[in-house]
């Protein structure tokens, strides 16, 4: 049996974590970075790039690079048209069908793109366990988190992505619930907890209660169209308006220019979390011939994003009302998601709940840590803790006149079940159409259609005589199954709901086969990426040494004649090799640079040690 991990499949970044000796830990790369950007890029030769490498290609190959795909999971083309306007890739699909993402001449579904990210996380974990000397290092099972307000279609799409990545999804749990596990709030004797989760693409608020080792979600609310991406879009719009005012044509902006604007405003957003002002800087390029530079203050930024932050507070109030609590009843408030680093967000949350929120764990990592805790609980049973989550939206069926009869109400604790009795409306009716819906509206046309199936074989009877029992059952992953039975004859039909925007078993099978067919090419691509990453780390270390304030003195005192020139020429050769696709050339150039800088590294290290020990005696060290 292989390893089990916890995965936070995020809009902007994704992470994988595991539990060792009862402590959850994020699995990091060689440089100590735990984040894998949720970005996928397809090369001209069909090579697939994931993570940092794909993120870099946003500037050089934007039309071949996909990001923020989580916002399209389990949704139809009618749902996402407004979001696709500034994207470098195409978003299409048939009405009522799965969204199709066009990259060059290929079409992908959102679960396929997400599966590339999950495979990268799986590989990272397996490499980590291999390096740790684990005999059985294969990762074959995972707990994956989703926003609390993800509907059935979006949860099913996430499970499909896990399956495509070669993972058995043991459990799909809500991100706020995972965050609470990471903080160890399940260890409280009792109390109410609010988890405010503002990520890259979604916003969730969950109200939970801990009592006698029972960890129960009382209510959840949120907005799957609200997150850090929307803050970025506001900033981008502001920059584009100013460019227009200066005479630039928005329609003339290349994909590279749009992505350069996006990269610049994201960095500004990050800088304004720590500083009172920051500069938006864009270098000259086609469509922005003069470049762009502008200083923005934090006050200016907060005025711009204030309406978005306010939009998060109404779901918080609604969740409190659904839980039957006041803000004063909340004992703990937890912040989750990178967007909660924005000072205005933290102040708004503190003002609403009247207490300082927890922020001592990294908000980018806390969900993955909680997923790992839940995975460990499922496998080891080391905690005597019961996790009770809720369904975010009501579930029911369409009845006469196009109205919705709700069978499981929103915020019902899952696993959950419900049943209702129905009958026929026409004499001699031998079949009943069951239309399964999700949503809070009263009419079927205003709710999301999840599935349709037919209960047939009912003997002809007078209208009103048949007794049809419809049963709904939601499992611990939030996945719905529906059964209909005519009680007089015991005729029965059941279905595990395949949402309108999910993938069929045949589609998933085809995608799995394609992944096997491309396995060798994918492995070669990974080796190329690994070689580039190693080369870039050596380049960064070398450039850091060359930029030392005392480098000229070091070169004059310690380097042999011609040694500096050799380092600089070898460094240039590595950069040139990185730009190509010859893995052997990259590895050879990296080896040459390592050899060329070996003496420099020794000199710099000795100098640093002397400086650290200056003025100290043996007893001090």
CB 192 within 8 A of CB 209: yes
Would you state the structure tokens that stand for residue 526, as one six-digit string? 């990974």
* Active site (annotated) includes residue 389: no
Determine which one of 70, 122, 269, 406 is catalytic.
70
Q: How far, in Å, CA of 380 to CA of 85, rounded?
A: 47
Determine which one of 3, 8, 120, 122 is catalytic.
8
Would you state the structure tokens that stand for residue 238, as one six-digit string? 């502001």
Determine which one of 120, 197, 204, 522 is catalytic.
197
Q: Give me the torsion for CA of 482, 487, 493, 496, rounded to 10°.
A: 20
* Active site (annotated) includes residue 197: yes
What are the φ and ψ backbone dihedral angles of 466, each rounded to 5 degrees? -60, 145
Determine which one of 120, 152, 175, 186 is catalytic.
175
User: Nearest Cα to 124, choosing from 257, 215, 25, 255?
Assistant: 25
Please name every residue paired with 421 in a beta bridge, in sequence order, or none if there are none: 469
Beta strands in 487-562 (DSSP E): 491-496
The DSSP secondary structure of 423-492, one letter per residue, reads --SSTT--EEEEEEEESS-SBGGGSEEEEEEEEE-PPP--TT---EEEEEEE-TTS-EEEEEEETTTTEE
State the burial class of residue 291 (Cβ atoms within 10 Å of its Cβ: 0-12, 13-18, 19+): exposed
Q: Which residue, chain included where needed, has tokens 């050596």? A: 538
* Active site (annotated) includes residue 175: yes
Exposure b/e, 11-43, CB count within 10 A at least 16 = b: bbbbbbbbbeeeebbbbbbeeeebbbbbbbbbb
Looking only at the bridges linking them, the beta strands covering 431-438 and 403-408 are: unpaired
Helix (H) or strand (E) holding 130: helix 110-131
DSSP state of 288: B
Would you state the structure tokens that stand for residue 609, as one six-digit string? 């040690």
CB 6 within 8 A of CB 373: yes
CB 52 within 8 A of CB 31: no
Q: How far, in Å, CA of 22 to CA of 383, rounded?
A: 10
* HSE (side-chain half, CA atoms, 13 Å) at 611: 7
Would you state the structure tokens that stand for residue 214, as one six-digit string? 């029972």
Question: Cα–Cα distances in Å, from 537 out to 3, 32, 533, 542, 585?
Answer: 29, 12, 6, 9, 16
The DSSP secondary structure of 43-79, one letter per residue, reads -TTS-EEETHHHHHHHHH-GGGEEE-GGGGTT--HHH
Contacts of 505 (CB under 8 A, 6+ apart): none
Looking only at the bridges linking them, the beta strands covering 190-198 and 332-336 are: parallel
Would you state the structure tokens that stand for residue 556, as one six-digit string? 């004059």
CB 606 within 8 A of CB 553: no
Contacts of 168 (CB under 8 A, 6+ apart): 140, 141, 142, 162
Residues identified as active-site? 8, 70, 175, 197
């Amino acid at each position: 049996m292989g390893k089990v991990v916890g995965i936070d499949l995020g809009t902007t970044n994704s992470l994988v974590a595991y539990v060792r000796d009862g402590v959850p830990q994020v699995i990091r790369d060689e440089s100590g970075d735990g984040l894998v950007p949720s970005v996928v890029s397809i090369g001209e030769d069909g090579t697939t790039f994931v993570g940092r490498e794909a993120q870099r290609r946003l500037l050089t190959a934007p039309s071949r690079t996909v990001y923020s795909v989580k916002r399209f999971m389990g949704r139809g083309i009618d749902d996402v048209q407004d979001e696709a306007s500034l994207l470098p890739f195409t978003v299409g699909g048939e009405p009522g069908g799965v969204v199709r993402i066009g990259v060059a001449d290929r079409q992908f579904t959102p679960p396929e793109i997400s599966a590339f990210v999950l495979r990268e996380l799986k590989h990272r974990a397996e490499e980590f366990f291999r390096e740790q000397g684990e005999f059985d290092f294969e990762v074959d099972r995972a707990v994956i988190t989703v926003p609390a307000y993800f509907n059935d279609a979006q949860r099913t799409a996430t499970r499909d992505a896990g399956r495509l990545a070669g993972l058995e999804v043991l459990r799909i749990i809500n991100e706020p619930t995972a965050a609470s596990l990471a903080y160890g709030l399940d260890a409280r004797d009792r109390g109410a907890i609010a988890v405010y989760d503002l990520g890259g693409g979604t916003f969730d608020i969950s109200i939970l209660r801990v009592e006698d080792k029972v960890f129960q979600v009382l209510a959840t609310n949120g907005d799957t169209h609200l997150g850090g991406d929307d803050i970025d879009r506001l900033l981008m719009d502001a920059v584009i308006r100013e460019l227009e005012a200066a005479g630039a044509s928005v329609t003339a902006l290349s994909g590279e220019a749009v992505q350069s604007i996006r990269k610049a405003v994201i960095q500004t957003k990050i800088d304004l979390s720590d500083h009172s002002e920051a500069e938006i800087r864009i270098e000259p390029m086609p469509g922005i011939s003069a470049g762009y530079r502008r200083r923005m203050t934090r006050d200016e930024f907060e005025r711009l994003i204030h309406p978005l932050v306010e939009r998060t507070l109404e779901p918080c109030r609604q969740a409190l009302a659904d839980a039957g609590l006041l803000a004063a009843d909340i004992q703990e408030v937890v912040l989750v998601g990178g967007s909660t680093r924005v000072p205005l967000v933290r102040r708004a949350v503190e003002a609403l709940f009247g207490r300082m929120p927890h922020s001592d764990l990294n908000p980018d990592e806390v969900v993955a840590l909680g997923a790992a805790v839940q995975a460990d609980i499922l496998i080891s049973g080391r905690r005597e803790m019961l996790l009770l989550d809720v369904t975010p939206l009501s579930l029911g069926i369409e009845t006469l006149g196009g109205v919705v009869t709700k069978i499981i109400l929103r915020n019902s604790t899952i696993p959950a079940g419900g049943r209702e009795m129905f009958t026929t409306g026409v004499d001699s009716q031998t079949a009943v159409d069951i239309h399964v819906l999700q949503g809070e509206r009263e009419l079927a046309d205003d709710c999301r259609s999840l599935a349709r199936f037919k209960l047939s074989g009912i003997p002809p009877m007078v209208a009103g005589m048949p007794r049809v029992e419809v049963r709904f059952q939601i499992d611990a992953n939030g996945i719905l199954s529906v059964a209909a039975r005519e009680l007089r004859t015991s005729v029965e039909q059941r279905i595990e709901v395949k949402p309108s925007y999910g993938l069929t078993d045949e589609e998933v099978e085809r995608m799995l086969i394609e992944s096997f067919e491309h396995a060798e090419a994918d492995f070669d691509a990974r080796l190329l990426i690994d070689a580039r990453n190693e080369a870039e780390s050596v380049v960064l270390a070398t450039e850091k040494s060359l930029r030392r304030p005392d480098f000229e003195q070091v070169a004059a005192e310690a380097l042999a004649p011609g040694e500096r020139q050799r380092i600089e020429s070898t460094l240039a050769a590595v950069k040139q090799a990185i730009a190509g696709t010859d893995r052997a050339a990259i590895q050879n150039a990296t080896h040459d640079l390592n050899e060329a800088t070996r003496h420099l590294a020794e000199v710099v290290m000795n100098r640093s040690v002397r400086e650290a020990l200056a003025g100290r005696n043996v007893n001090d060290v």
